[in-house]
Structure 1
Amino acid sequence: MIRSMYSGISGLRNFQTKLDVIGNNIANVNTYGFKKGRTIFKDQFSQTVAGASAPGENRGGVNAKQVGLGSQLSAIDTIHAPGSTQFTGNTLDLAIEGDGFFMVGTGDDMFYTRAGNFYLDNAGDLVDGDGSYLQGLTSPINIPSNATNMSIAQDGKVTYVQDSNLVEAGQLQLARFPNPGGLEKVGGNYFQVSPNSGDPVPGDPQGAGGHGAIKSGSLEMSNVDLAEEFTEMIVAQRGFQANTRIITTSDEILQELVNLKR
């Protein structure tokens, strides 16, 4: 009975974690560039009551008899499937069609994001909502105050018109990773490099390195599917309830054992 109670407790913990991940996904359903999480479980080690035996001359083999001791968390994956693209008409709203991340920050403190809502600060530099510089071959990318008709091409070239001349302000760069799922979320729509993500591989959009194309005037939406999240929430809720029944049923059986002495 004690084993079944602890198995139920392990299930409660895991389903609570799953509900936490689902709650975060739903909270970010309208967050630009957000990548949803997925919770995966695995069984814990099992206690072997009787070992397996090989077949002999006069009898067949016998399988092992094992009692599982609950479940444990296997992984919380970040799903980097692309979100849908929303047209905004704003030149500084950028979406990535394909692989890659925008690089923001400085050379000493670099972050990576799929959220492409950028702005011009008072000095004319391209920045994100937190004031981090959008990185290019030469950073920061600066647009003079008297410039007109600014545009950002699919290959990342930033141009503007000044004194009747189509001037190149800079070349945006995207970063790819050997294992994007290994990137760590650090808040603010940012990812950072981890020991398992691999080093960033910068390159031009639509270049030979397999980096995606830039789509100006659009933003990538969250890849959270509300219907899927609500379905997973129901599964997690029922799983949580079932594990509470394991605990209460085991407690009732233990109570009957205690009452035997009366």
Structure 2
Amino acid sequence: MLRSMYSGVSGMKGFQTKLDVIGNNIANVNTVGFKASRVMFKDILSQTVSGVTAPTDTQGGVNAKQIGLGTTVGSIDTIHTPGSAQTTNVPTDLRIDGDGFFMVKMSDEQETPFLTRAGDFHIDGNRNLVTSDGLFVLDSEGAIITLGDEVTGFSIAQDGTIVTQGGDEGEGVKIGIAKVINPEGLEKMGGNLYRVTANALGGDETEVVPLGANSVEDGTGAIIAGQLEMSNVDLTGEFTEMIVAQRGFQANSRIITTSDEVLQEVVNLKR
């Protein structure tokens, strides 16, 4: 069977994956804290028809003859560039102006918190600061943030400090911010959440160290209350890449069609 047919099949599979990623990016264009992804390709092993001949005093060198065997997906990268800011004026809406992540937990028993860039938080019936899905937001000590019963109002400073009114309980508590070495190493869990992996922190370490916001030496960034970080999806770029992927898929399908025609001619040699 012709190599070109299998090369065309691999190309169609790769561009189908690219279209899947682009479709997910466009679907999340208005998702708070969403980070777009991209697909990078690499070639598959090449078949060597003849090897390299080294040059000598009497004869020049000869390069190798190799035939490529198609393409495959090299990586699917998550692009952690900042999204645009949307002003909501809601006190519990927070945006990180930096590289940090909010830390959230499902319960006290959960050891390693999830990370998120979506700061659309709320105060529940127990006066806990939670996400839209009910996950607890953690402070700089890794504890659940709870406002006292006597607190009548609060505001959040740029360093993450919760300034309360009507009581001193919770005064000085800071919103917890985490910083990872390699954000692309985080695993998407759905619900705007990331799971910490060994490749995100380096080595076998999987423990997230809570930090305060607005830390210059740690680079976590400032917390801006009353704003949300929107998706970093660029619709113009995504639709352009969609056209490229569509034409690439179409071109590879033509390779398969042409290879089939060649095989048909071979079969018709014996009439």
* TM range, smaller chain: over 0.9
Q: Which amino acid letter does the alignment assign opposite residue 31 of structure 1?
A: T
| Bigger mean CA deviation after superposition, 204-213 or 225-234 | 204-213
Indicate conservation of the 8 Å contact 1:125/1:142, yes or no.
yes
Query: Alpha carbons of 1:109 and 1:176: their partners in 2 closer, same or farther (altered >3 Å)?
Result: closer
Which of 228, 235, 241 matches 1:232?
Answer: 241
1:219 paired residue number: 228
- Which has a greater percent of strand? 1
Tell me the TM-score normalized by structure 2.
Answer: 0.92
Deviates more, 1:197-206 or 1:79-88: 197-206
CA-CA distance at 1:169 after TM superposition: 6.0
Asked whether the 8 Å contact 2:147–2:169 carries over to 1, the reply is: no
- The aligned residue for residue 191 of structure 1 is 194
Residues 49-101 of structure 1, C-alpha deviations (whole Å, 9 max, x = no match): 01111112222111100000000110000000000111100000000001110
SS, match of residue 196 in structure 1: helix
Do structure 1's residue 253 and structure 2's residue 257 form an aligned pair? no
Q: What is the distance in 2 between the residues matched to 1:196 and 1:138?
A: 22
State the aligned residue count: 261
Match of 2:153 among 140, 149, 152: 149
Give the counterpart of 1:203 among 211, 223, 234: 211
Question: How high is the TM-score relative to the length of structure 1?
Answer: 0.95
User: Corresponding residue for 1:22?
Assistant: 22
Q: Letter of the aligned partner of 1:204 in structure 2?
A: G
Unaligned runs of 5+ in 1: none
Aligned equivalent of 1:114: 117
Residue 146 of structure 1 and its aligned partner are, at CA, apart by: 4.7
Output the CA distance in 1 between the equivalents of 2:9 and 2:149.
62
Q: Deviations over 1:95-124 (max 9, x none)?
A: 000111000004425100000000000010
- Tell me, yes or no, if the aligned pair for 1:138 and 1:170 is still in contact at 8 Å: no
In the alignment, which residue of structure 1 is the partner of 2:144? 140
Task: Name structure 2 gaps, 5 residues minimum.
Answer: none
* Partner AA of 2:175 in structure 1: L
How far apart are residue 38 of structure 1 and its match?
0.6
Q: Is the 8 A contact 2:158 2:222 kept in 1?
A: yes
Equivalent positions of 1:67-86 (< 5 A) are 67-86=67-86
Q: Is the 8 A contact 2:14 2:72 kept in 1?
A: yes
Task: State the one-letter code of the partner of 2:84.
Answer: S
Q: Structure 2 matches for 1:1-150, cutoff 5 A? A: 2-105=2-105, 106=108, 107-136=110-139, 137=141, 139-150=143-154
What is the alpha-carbon root mean square deviation over aligned residues?
Answer: 1.6
1:44 CA displacement: 0.3
Following superposition, the deviation at residue 148 of structure 1 comes to: 2.8
Return 190-199 or 145-154, whichever deviates more.
145-154
Q: Any idea what SS the aligned residue of 1:103 has?
A: strand
